[in-house]
Each structure stands twice: as structure tokens, then as C-alpha cells.
Structure 1
Amino acid sequence: MFEGKIVRFNKQRGFGFINDGEDDIFFFADSILNRDDFYIQDGLDVHFEIAPGYKGPQAVNITINEGVA
């Protein structure tokens, strides 16, 4: 399990990027397990796993850290 922060999220297209401190990792919004679309925004702390994607690694099984206001 990795930790990171959502650094870019496009609500219209349903994808974004998580920075793990070194790299930006692509993710689809439907990979967020405890998701609520209106709540997904830049700056949220998340835990995630990495899996191979169509164009390289992508974040999967993403959970937004509890207690984020």
C-alpha cells in the first residue's frame, strides 16, 4: 500500500493523478473505493496500490484517508 496526494483531478473526464512524493500516477475515479464524486478534489491524502495500466502504471484500490475535511 502506498500513500500520496491527489494533485490533479478532472471531474468531467473521471480521471486524475496522485503524487507519491516522487511521481505522478494516473487513476480513474472508479478506482476510489470510498468515493463520493463531489468530494474528490486536489490535495486529498490517499492510500493506493499500483497495477499495470494500458499506458503504464496506474493507481487502484484507492481509499481517501479518514478525517480529511
Structure 2
Amino acid sequence: MKRVDARGLSCPEPVIQTKNAMASKEAEYEVLVDNVVAKENVSRFVMHQGYQVNVEEQGDDFLLKITK
């Protein structure tokens, strides 16, 4: 499973980092973001790629668990 830490980055950078990680074609990923816009944009992107996303709040951050 690949993990992407995209905290502190503004869009579109979290989506780009997620896309780059997904080039490995793994079945699971975790993406850590620190704002609602990044959470929504990454979620939308991965769903369009055929993945499911589960969001967990971790303090001020969001952990997106992405599965095929």
C-alpha cells in the first residue's frame, strides 16, 4: 500500500501526487490531506478512476483510504 502525505499543499498538488502514486496500480492507497478542498478533489479523482474512498478525520487532517 502506498501512502501520500499531501498536508500543507494546495490543489491541484494533492491530486497530482495521488495520481503519481496510483501509477503503481496497487489495490490500496492512503492519502493524508489537511483541508476540505483537497479531500473533496482527491476523493472525486479516485472515484473517477474506479476506486472507493473512505474518509477518516484525524484531528485537523483527513485520511483518505482508497481501495479498488
> What TM-score do you get using the length of structure 1 for normalisation?
0.28
> What TM-score do you get using the length of structure 2 for normalisation?
0.29
Structure in which a larger fraction of residues adopt strand: 1
